[in-house]
């Protein structure tokens, strides 16, 4: 770009007409590692998403298989809580009925 000199030009005018120096390459040197790191994170995120999707499918198959099979002798310990307040009619019959369950582990 040529600088045109006019008799009424000031130094500011001449400075604004000067060609801009191209930015040094060092400013953009950081872009390549940043883009590499970004794409690496994208690939890792996609891989984790696919793994968790597969893991969810395996869990679903496990649950479906367990629901279709017989429970067998599975009888976890159970706690029976019966809140009572005062003596009401039929309380003794209700409490006796709660102890007559056919469940061996409560």
Average pLDDT, the chain: 80
Question: Which residues of the chain, if any, have pLDDT below 50?
Answer: none
Integer Cα distance of 81 and 87 in angstroms? 17
Encoded tokens for 21 = 């120096």
CB burial string 6-42: b at 16+ within 10 A, e below? eeeeeeeeeeeeeeeeeeeeeeeeeeeeeeeeeeeee
Percent of the chain exceeding pLDDT 70 equals 73
Look-up of token digits 């872009």: 31
Q: Phi, psi at residue 63, to the nearest 5°?
A: -65, -45
């Amino acid at each position: 770009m040529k600088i045109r000199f006019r008799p009424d030009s000031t130094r500011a005018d001449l400075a604004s007409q000067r060609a801009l120096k191209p930015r040094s390459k060092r400013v953009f040197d950081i872009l390549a590692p940043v883009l590499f790191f970004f794409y690496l994170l994208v690939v890792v995120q996609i891989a984790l998403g696919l793994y968790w999707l597969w893991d969810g499918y395996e869990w679903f198959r496990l649950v479906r298989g367990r629901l279709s099979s017989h429970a067998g002798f599975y009888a976890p310990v159970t706690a029976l809580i019966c809140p009572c307040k005062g003596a009401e009619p039929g309380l003794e019959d209700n409490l006796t009925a709660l102890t007559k369950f056919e469940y061996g582990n409560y």
